Amino acid sequence: MDNSRLDHHCMACGQPLAYLAQPRRANCHYCGQELRTLICCPEGHVVCDACHGADTLTRLERLAGSTKAAAPEDILEELLRLPQLPMHGPEHHAMAGLALM
């Protein structure tokens, strides 16, 4: 089981989550969907319910498809920062192709 879904840390950067008193509009870090949220991290990352429930490969695909980075090496660096990415997992094989697409 992916423990990152169970703790209270940001799925994008690993920092502790902040719980807001009032909802605010934000865009999902992975897919870009606009949503209202009461939860974010100090860096401002927000994750929608669909991405929060997705597996690592799906999150990599969404992040690669919504990044503002243009150069493949910049996209790859962004993908490599995903905290729940296994150090020696097969997900690394997909990242090169995702960065080039």
- Going from the C-alpha of 72 to that of each of 34, 62, 77, 86, 98, the distances in angstroms are 25, 15, 9, 21, 9
Average pLDDT, integer, range 17-39: 93
Burial (Cβ within 10 Å: 0-12, 13-18, ≥19) of residue 16: exposed
Residue, of 38 and 1, whose pLDDT is higher:
38
Residue, of 48 and 53, whose pLDDT is higher:
48
Give this prediction's pTM. 0.61
Distance of CA 77 to the CA centre of its chain: 13
Name the band, by pLDDT with cuts 50, 70 and 90, for residue 7: low
